[in-house]
Amino acid sequence: MDTQTQGDGLRFLKMHGAGNDFVVIDSRGRGAVTTPALARALGDRHRGVGFDQLAEIGDGQQGAHFSLDFWNNDGTRAGACGNATRCVSDYVMRDLGLEAVSLVTARGALSAVRLADGRVSVNIGPPQRIWDQVPLARDVNLMHLPLPGDPVAVGMGNPHCVLFVADAETVELQTLGPRYEHDPLFPQRTNVEFASLTAPNRLRMRVWERGTGITLACGSGACATAVAAHLRGMTGRQVTLDLDGGVLQVDWRDDGVWMTGPVAYVFEGVLSPAFLAAHA
């Protein structure tokens, strides 16, 4: 992708990982351009481009190859996005001619590697398992939150509320997702995952993402769900998760939680000067 502006327009890339879709803006060498208004406009699937998250690439920091910022389609910031991190890491690896890269996000220093089969693995760091790091509004038992359904709270750079159910397929995400997202126990709102055990070390997971709604996949949510399942004694540390958009694999290692999955390039485009001016 030619990363510079074209005339007064702005180039972007559309990607997805297991159906979790992103607009990617490469701002290396020129400074960030995304604003809440632009994120909201771009996130509109009728009047903009549409995405679950927007990922903006910045110059490297702390010796990393690049930095990365995330936005939800309601114009709010997202602290982490595992699938976008994988997708953008693949793009940067191809751009730099590398098979592994380091990056910095609000989560901290991360790393990613391309596997021989073309999938990309990213280490999104250790889970946050202290109440004010998730964060929660007060000190409660993270393994058994005082909420309906006995959920688990896990931080993965963003808050997650994980519920284990008999059959994830039957959960009314549109109704239940917003209730947990906006519960006062989560001062920064939360992502909400519903998961059921379908085989040894295999989970069916569906997700409601804060600031976005129902998505086909959520990388950080898959990591949080795998961590919660292991802590509850349901699985080992290596877990396969079947999401609406595809399959992700999570491996909770000593150095952090690694998440592996596919990367897809969809198209490139140019935002018009009129669109940018209307949503500055």
Structure tokens at 237: 């540390």
161 is catalytic: no
Phi, psi for 189 (deg, rounded to 5): 65, 180
HSE, CB side, 13 Å, CA atoms: give it for residue 250.
Answer: 35
| SS3 label, residue 159 | strand
Q: How far apart are CA 178 and CA 214, in angstroms?
A: 10
Helix axes 82-96, 219-231, angle to 10 degrees: 120
The count of other CB atoms within 10 Å of the CB of residue 176 is 17
HSE, CB side, 13 Å, CA atoms: give it for residue 265.
Answer: 13
Q: What angle do CA 117, 120, 121 make, to 5 degrees?
A: 120
CB 246 within 8 A of CB 18: yes
Question: What is the DSSP code (8-state) at residue 128?
Answer: B
Of 81, 87, 161, 223, the active-site residue reads: 81
Q: How far apart are CA 209 and CA 180, in angstroms?
A: 10
| SS3 label, residue 78 | strand
223 is catalytic: no
Structure tokens at 238: 């290596």
| Residues taking part in catalysis | 81, 218
